[in-house]
A and B are shown apart, each in its own frame.
Chain A
Amino acid sequence: MSRYQLKEAHELVVDGKRYLFGVSTGAILGMDAPAARVVDFLKNRPGVSVQELAAHLESEGETGGTQEALEELVALEVVGSGGAGEWRGEGAEEPKGKGKIASLSACTPAPSHPCTSSSQPRLPFPVRSLVCHIARDCNLRCAYCYAEGGSYGQERALMDPEMTCRSVDFLLRHSGGNRRISFTFFGGEPLLNPQALRAAVQYGRAQEERWGKEIDFSLTTNATLLSEETVRFLSENRIGVTVSLDGPAAINDRMRTYPDGRGSYQSVLPQVRLLLDHHRTRPVAARVTVTRGVGDLGEIFGHLRGLGFSQVGFCPVSTRDARYALSLEDLSSFLEQLCHLAWRCISVRVPEAKGLQEPSFQGLESLEWAGKDLPASDSHPTRSGYNPEEAAGRPLPLSNLANLLRELHRGERRPYPCGAGLGLLGVGVDGEIYPCHRFAGSPDLSLGRIEQGLDLGRQTAFFQRVHSTKRAEKCLECWIRYLCAGGCYFESYVRHGDPFAPNLDYCRWLAEWIEEGLRLYVALAENRPGILMGLLED
């Protein structure tokens, strides 16, 4: 006899309706009353027969649509069943044509985690992104810098332009079938090495046609060294720019200082304006590092949007240093503010979304940043001429949210927390290859050299360690494990000295953030799918 069992799913209620997020499928599903009844009965009951289900629902006087709902839940992998089922409920008849799927589902061991499976990534893996340290040096000395003033704990150095070109070449050669590939100039401060930047871009553009590929160049900078000429170069060559800036002077200058202790905001401001005014070919983003005390995200966001950044992203600081690291209270405040900001961004686009699902937090007042200093932008709901349809086509200004919604939309399931060591690689100034740019200066994690190529043995060993560590065990009961897959290797490395250690510090934070994203996604998908599609566009 066939037995039915609920698979792992995360439940949520949006606007009074019930939804499920399939933990291993990544599917987001809405349930009507009969489906919800089936799910409720199956909860905490391993292996329920159809008879038991039917008897229970009959006793409750609820039978309409149950069989159909069960079949749909089986087909959508919410409910697993062992073998071809019998249906002996009211109007008894065989379930139609679902036997195959049901039995396949029953074969899936649960709970599972991609990191615990024995399947190793298929190597060589096509590289999609290369992040290249063209400068192991920086002209700022931001207090919280994980790269220790841009030096990564090593001697300050610049990458030889020839090595940068070789890195471009490496990317082209190892990118397999990827037609669009990206090359990021990183540091330290990459603009300390304009020769390498120019040489690589020139070389890359000359090679694109030959390889039939398109290189998306980008640059992460502190903006201090931007000149008119550099901005023109960036714009002409369609180089995407992300500026590290923490907000208005009072906030920014607490951490982002010159070696003499002088704050950097005042000297950066003219350069940022120059960049935002003259970089016409790509949107310019700001990246904010969130540190101890968190501050007012709304104020920071409003300020940076006011300057003209098209996207703002918030990232918690990577450090163990108690002076800068986020405390538990900080994490909670960060989450709360980020969720408010997310709802705010959505409700600006879709005024009725605000009424759909008010965030459960208090303190919206702190988000009333939009009023005074903002230029023409869709982020200001009161400005005349606001047109939601027009706004829909523009990307969401909060990059944390834009990325999350995109992942939820696709129902991404990740075998690994990120592409590090596979599609994403970092290169140190000396041509050493690392799982990602953040590991530069950790020779024990080197995966090869640009000249010789990837060391498949080291790459394999890296993933063997990923698979064999206990980080996955901790994840087995977590509903976001297929979205987070254990978290950033580098965070674990910084906090625990071991990239493969469980990264538990952000577990709850991330789960709640994803939950909020789910609620936002569902609210939009159910009410304004057109707007949602617009938001998801790149």
Chain B
Amino acid sequence: MKKRISTRLLGIVLGGAWALFLPLSGLAQAGQEWIYITTLPNKIVVLDGEKDEIVREIPLRGTPYYLTATRDGRKVFVITGRRQYIDIIDAEQGKVVDSITLSQEKSKARFYGLAASPEGDRLYINVLTSREELDELVAEPPYVAMVDLKTKKVVGTIPVPYGIGALFPLSQGPQVYAFGRDLYTLDPVQRKIVRTTGLAHPQIGGEGPMNALPFWTHYVKDGLFSSPYVEGGDPVTHAPKIGLLLFDTVNGKLDKIELGPPIPIFSAVVSPDRQTAYGVFTQLTVVDLKEKRITKAVPLQASYYTLDVSSNGKKLYISGAAPEVVVMDAGSFQVLKTIPLPGNTFDLRVIPREF
């Protein structure tokens, strides 16, 4: 009994010390982050990462899809308005301060994938445009638009193939990755794809091809991008296999972790220490990245499609589809909390609060 009290006291003291120290250091620790969840019909719900309580509901112009933020978490960008708008949120004020659209009356530009530059001065958006002609709709070739956030002007475009659903920046340097049927490296200076890493079109004969789902949430944690994939498998037996794609945005290395026969995993996130990956659907699948195998499968009460991990690696936030968010202890895998939300959800992201 005595021991427990003293531990708790110590926690309070240390917690206080951190609270004093952190805003100066600019380093995010647990508690110094918010969890953004896009929900129907037209909201972003924000949880406080320390108390796991709803602290904000930010109204938007329409159904929100995917969101991203600047590295410091000051600005949050969300695709909404029938995919034709990006609402820009000032995290401090907790409201939409600006928005971007590329649609015109006879030309609808819809957004599939967006990324902010690490510096927060530029937004990359994958754009699919349908133009209304007299008697037909014309699909224009897809491109990635580079938008200067100060002027909100498109400062350049990069032509890309169909099928891209996610963009994410290189850890350092100006390049951006686009995730579609393959993984493309875009160079904003040369304004072209400078490298294609084959997934559906593997470059090594007999390797793959793989199928992944770019149109769902993907995470880059500590520079490590993760996505589940399915592979047709053995050319003779055709037995399919599921696994995790890990793409290191620091050194450009693509790693495949084969997990065996298909189990549904809709999105996957890597722990900040890069030791563990978590995949989610009706079960939480825990993968040891060193041993490259599934170490645990935790049944969930319902199906969830999205999860993220707190930046100290200790908590998992699970949502996507179901109108609720499950907070789980990443050590014991006990549900700490299930928080009801106003509507079905799409994206969920743990975003640091460095301001």
Q: Which residues of A contact B (CB under 8 A)?
A: 122, 124-127, 173-178, 423, 454
Find chain B residues with CB under 8 A from A173 CB.
204-205
CA distance A427 to B235 in the complex (A): 23
Can you list 22 A-B pairs, Cβ within 8 angstroms, ordered by A? Answer: A122-B235, A124-B205, A124-B206, A125-B206, A125-B235, A126-B205, A126-B235, A127-B206, A173-B204, A173-B205, A174-B206, A175-B205, A175-B206, A176-B204, A176-B206, A176-B207, A177-B206, A177-B207, A177-B235, A178-B206, A423-B235, A454-B205
User: Nearest Cβ distance between residue B182 and chain A, in whole angstroms?
Assistant: 15
The digit string for B199-231, where 1 denotes a CB below 8 A from any CB of A, is: 000101111010000000000000000000000
Query: B232 contacts the other chain (Cβ, under 8 Å)?
Result: yes
CA distance A127 to B204 in the complex (A): 11
CA distance A174 to B203 in the complex (A): 10
Find chain A residues with CB under 8 A from B209 CB.
122
Q: Nearest chain-A residue to B232 (Cβ)?
A: A122
Find chain A residues with CB under 8 A from B205 CB.
124-127, 173-176, 454
Q: Is the interface of B mostly helix, strand, loop or mixed?
A: loop
Find chain A residues with CB under 8 A from B206 CB.
124-127, 174-178
Query: B132 contacts the other chain (Cβ, under 8 Å)?
Result: no
Query: B50 contacts the other chain (Cβ, under 8 Å)?
Result: no
For chain B, which range describes its interface: under 10, 10 to 19, 20 to 34, or 35 or more residues? under 10
Q: Which residues of B contact A (CB under 8 A)?
A: 202, 204-207, 209, 232, 234-235
CA distance A454 to B204 in the complex (A): 12
Supply 14 further A-B pairs (C-beta < 8 A) apart from A125-B235, A176-B235: A124-B202, A125-B205, A126-B206, A126-B235, A173-B204, A173-B205, A174-B205, A174-B206, A175-B205, A176-B207, A177-B207, A177-B235, A178-B206, A423-B235
Find chain B residues with CB under 8 A from A423 CB.
235
CA distance A127 to B207 in the complex (A): 11
CA distance A465 to B202 in the complex (A): 25
Name, among B202, B232, B235, the residue most crowded by chain A CB atoms within 10 Å (CB to CB).
B235
Find chain B residues with CB under 8 A from A175 CB.
205-206
Name, among B204, B205, B209, B235, the residue most crowded by chain A CB atoms within 10 Å (CB to CB).
B205
Q: Nearest chain-B residue to A422 (Cβ)?
A: B235
Find chain B residues with CB under 8 A from A454 CB.
205
User: Nearest Cβ distance between residue A176 and chain B, in whole angstroms?
Assistant: 1
User: Nearest Cβ distance between residue B26 and chain A, in whole angstroms?
Assistant: 45
Q: Nearest chain-B residue to A175 (Cβ)?
A: B206
Find chain A residues with CB under 8 A from B235 CB.
122, 125-126, 176-177, 423
The 7 closest A-B pairs by CB, nearest first: A176-B206, A126-B206, A174-B205, A124-B205, A176-B205, A176-B207, A177-B206
User: Nearest Cβ distance between residue A460 and chain B, in whole angstroms?
Assistant: 14
User: Nearest Cβ distance between residue A129 and chain B, in whole angstroms?
Assistant: 13
Q: Nearest chain-B residue to A178 (Cβ)?
A: B206
CA distance A177 to B202 in the complex (A): 12
